[in-house]
Amino acid sequence: MNCSIKHSISSTSCSNLIPKKDSSPISFKIQSLPPKPINFNIKPSSITFKKPLYISQIQDFGGSIRKINHGFVCNAYEADHSQPLEIKMDEVAQSEAGQKMKIGLYFATWWSLNVVFNIYNKKVLNAFPFPWLTSTLSLAAGSLIMLVSWATKMVEAPKTDIEFWKTLFPVALAHTIGHVAATISMSKVAVSFTHIIKSAEPAFSVLVSRFFLGESFPIGVYLSLLPIIGGCALSALTELNFNMIGFMGAMVSNLAFVFRNIFSKKGMKGKSVSGMNYYACLSMLSLLILTPFTIAMEGPQMWEAGWQTALTQIGPNFVWWVVAQSVFYHLYNQVSYMSLDQISPLTFSIGNTMKRISVIVSSIIIFRTPVQPVNALGAAIAILGTFIYSQAKP
């Protein structure tokens, strides 16, 4: 039942119905503010006020109880400043919509940068087949970008100590191996094939966690590995331009990145470093690790001859390709690490699966990679298994 009560401007007084002996009556004066309706929702078990009342002032005009009347003035007002529930719900809905839009922007940027990197990386490797130097230039570009950002105060530099770099070293070592192995793979086979094999990374993650760390998983996780392994095997067997070095490079990259993730989870607990700065430190340490091996494996003489050949065949655009692949490598990895600060690991895994789809499809279209129906079926099965794995993993 609903009722409406309006305040009266005039004051009202009343006497105590049961006065004590030898005591004078006690009067109450109630002064109200300008009239304003107050609505009550009356239910059988409770009374609910749509707008609460607050006591703003109490004045006591007391003296001796025996002879002087006691009274007080109570001023009340409605809480006009209190927000209705509908407005608060709208604010929550707008906040959730803004968060979803932010995550969508992260994913779109991440996928776009990754596709651009893979395109320019493959172009550079086709004209300049030196994967060790190409990998080093990618890390060097990212390190330079972040050093400039810290020096110009565009990004706040992280506060690190010797313990931070000690725990980061195994992560950087695994990251370096995975990065170089993936680049070697793409220098030997099609981009699409490399990413089809790299979609088997969840299988490596489960196997390493099970046999090296002693972790156990639900039966659904193990079952999801069957389409992943089967799809990758089908694609490898039907690949027209199969190359064993390219295949093994992608497999080593999977294993290295699994250990990178394990070391990162174990070593970085409690470290207050943002995703952007964490990847910057990772790139710098990986660059220090990789540089001497790059010089030993290839060397300046080979680079000079290959550089001149690439400039002769491609022209000045080749320099732009090298710069683009180096910068975009850092940017897409930086965005992926930044997104980890905003989303759950499960959402990130799903996004990583969709990223591989975008890279595979775009590379097939741009490089006009011949694909047999059976090969495409194997890729689809492997990617579907990766998606099922992301849903089944706790």
Q: Identify which of 268, 120, 97, 265 has the alpha carbon closest to the alpha carbon of residue 191.
A: 120
**Average pLDDT of 105-114?**
86
Q: Select the more confidently predicted residue: 313 or 338.
A: 313
Cα 370 to its chain centre, rounded Å, is: 35
Written as one letter, the residue type at 384 is L
In this prediction, residue 15 carries a pLDDT of 44
Q: Identify which of 3, 7, 8 has the alpha carbon closest to the alpha carbon of residue 40.
A: 3
**Average pLDDT of 284-295?**
96
Instruction: Name the packing angle between helices 85-127 and 317-339 (round to 10°).
Output: 150
Q: Select the more confidently predicted residue: 263 or 65.
A: 263
In this prediction, residue 211 carries a pLDDT of 85
Q: Select the more confidently predicted residue: 98 or 370.
A: 370
The number of CA neighbours under 13 Å toward the Cβ of 147 is 9
pTM for the model stands at 0.72
H or E stretch covering 292: helix 275-297
Please state, in angstroms and rounded to a whole number, the distance separating the CA atoms of residues 319 and 127. 11
In this prediction, residue 124 carries a pLDDT of 96
Please state, in angstroms and rounded to a whole number, the distance separating the CA atoms of residues 135 and 387. 29
**Most confident residue range from 178-182, 234-238, 272-276:** 178-182
In this prediction, residue 267 carries a pLDDT of 62
The owner of tokens 């109450």 is: 28
Predicted confidence band at 84 (pLDDT cuts at 50, 70, 90)? low
> What is the residue-averaged pLDDT of the chain?
79
- Neighbour order of strands in the sheet with 72-78: 12-15, 27-30, 72-78, 53-60
The answer to whether residues 294 and 176 touch, using CB atoms and an 8 Å cutoff, is no
Q: Select the more confidently predicted residue: 32 or 229.
A: 229
